Amino acid sequence: MRRYHLTTFGCQMNEHDSERMKGMLDSLGYGEAAERSEADLILFNTCSIRESADTRFVAHLGEAKRLKSEDPSRVIGVGGCWSQSLKEKVFEQFPFVDVAFGPGQVHRLAEFLTSDSLTAQGYFEFEGFTGHLPMRRARDFQGWMQISVGCNCVCSYCIVPSTRGREVSRPAAELVAEAERLAADGVREVTLLGQNVNSYGRDLPKGEKTTFAELLALVDAVDGIDRIRYTSPHPKDIREDVVRAHAELPGVCPHIHLPLQSGSSRVLKAMRRTYNRERYMDRVALIRELVPDCSITTDIIVGFPGETEAEFAETLEVCEEVGYDSAFTFVFSPRRGTEAAELDGQLPHPVKRERMERLVAVVQRRARERAQRFVGRTVEVLVEGPSRTDPSRLRGRDRHNKTVNFEGLTAVGELAHVEVTSATSTTLAGEERLLSRIG
């Protein structure tokens, strides 16, 4: 049997795409190799969101090159956003690569593998949804659903519009059928994926138009799906109907990831985010009003070109005010082909690092403070496996998307009720309560 090894970098959409790649390779009769050195087919699903993502991947590619020189019959394939952003240049820079493809061309990998092609092949059109391919899930009880691909925004720092193309939504009926299949297969938690989930459905033909809030209701109505998550909404167009869905639909989890990027309206404008600080804070107020206990998490970029100390201080102010349950914080990284990479006022690295440290301190303190509201409450945890630090304990996530480590007996993939005894900025700890109410 021929064997493959796949390494995945980047976001949840890439994790989803990799599950589909694995499903497709299964159906071609490939088996999975535990080590890269044991594989006939060495695959990478790449990311290019920041320079660090490129660097990390290129080091792995070096190992693949060495393995191929030991055994030239090995095939090396590179998919994903890095590949898409370089296209044919992949073969100029890395001549040992046999096949390169973008996120819209995963299905072509099968074509390449079943052909007798001896020359390197590149596939870079934006055409299919990976969501149409067979899947092999990492976890039986959790599933991704790709509701749309691409992004029509023009955030000046971001490479994604060029690597994923224009936004295209999948019809709601197709997604409901997929949710039903997942539920029948034992999935209890689904995560709906899109670059900007709020704009889901706008591109669908008349008669099939469905809003994101309507899609949430349709998935919520599928029997067996206990939890619905999604990522990411864009603050410019998260509307009341979506926030209400969190209050009214039992399956929709009380967690909203609302990427801020910057607290300064001037910087937001230069980022082409199309909202300002006030409008962002209005969205937060709406969430707090309709779903008071909702977790709010975010993404923040520090050191955007031209960001002054006073503008950075506004980001700190917003973090103080909102009190995020957690935040992904990034140092601005100039990306090829983006507007922001060419802007004047690129900041020196030490300035970016120093701001990052101050930001992380505020984010962590506020997250720790926020997390104290769970202490003494009993939360519902979907068990994912043993605790990473103490294998005698269990680990899972609650409906607010907090990681919970606890003493208990519930099996992986089942729901446990855990009384929270302590909370840090990132995790809750507690003990399982066998017959208790969820608070």
Binding site for ligand F3S (CB under 6 A): 10-11, 13-14, 47-49, 80-81, 159-160, 163-164
Which residues on adjacent β-strands are paired with residue 190?
143, 228
Q: Which residue has the tokens 């600080």?
A: 277
List 47, 49, 322, 362, residue binding ligand SAH (CB under 6 A): 49
* 410 interface partner picked from ligand SAH, ligand F3S, ligand SF4, none, CB below 5 to 8 A per type: none
Give Cα separations from 429 to 367, 377, 384, 439 (angstroms): 15, 11, 15, 15
Q: Which helix (H) or strand (E) holds 83?
A: helix 81-86
- 151 touches ligand SF4 (CB under 6 A): yes
Give Cα separations from 362 to 13, 69, 154, 331, 365 (angstroms): 29, 49, 29, 16, 5
Which of these, 107, 114, 147, lies nearest to 128 by C-alpha position?
107
- 156 touches ligand SAH (CB under 6 A): no
Number of helices and strands in the chain (H, E): 13, 19
- 197 touches ligand SF4 (CB under 6 A): no
Q: Give least dist CB 296 to ligand SAH, A.
A: 13
Residues in CB range of 70: below 8 A, 6 or more apart = none
* 161 interface partner picked from ligand SAH, ligand F3S, ligand SF4, none, CB below 5 to 8 A per type: ligand SF4
- 169 touches ligand SF4 (CB under 6 A): no
* 332 interface partner picked from ligand SF4, ligand SAH, ligand F3S, none, CB below 5 to 8 A per type: ligand SAH
* 10 interface partner picked from ligand SF4, ligand F3S, ligand SAH, none, CB below 5 to 8 A per type: ligand F3S
Which of these, 266, 287, 288, 284, lies nearest to 276 by C-alpha position?
266
Of 8 and 48, CB closest to ligand SF4: 48
- Tell me the residue ranges of DSSP E strands in 361-402: 378-386, 394-398
Take residue 117 and report the two structure tokens written for it: 């092609």
Contact letters for ligand SAH, residues 277-316 (x by CB under 6 A): ----------------------x-x---------------
Of 151 and 379, CB closest to ligand SF4: 151
Residues in the site for ligand SF4, rule: CB under 6 A? 151, 153, 155, 158, 160-161, 195-196, 234
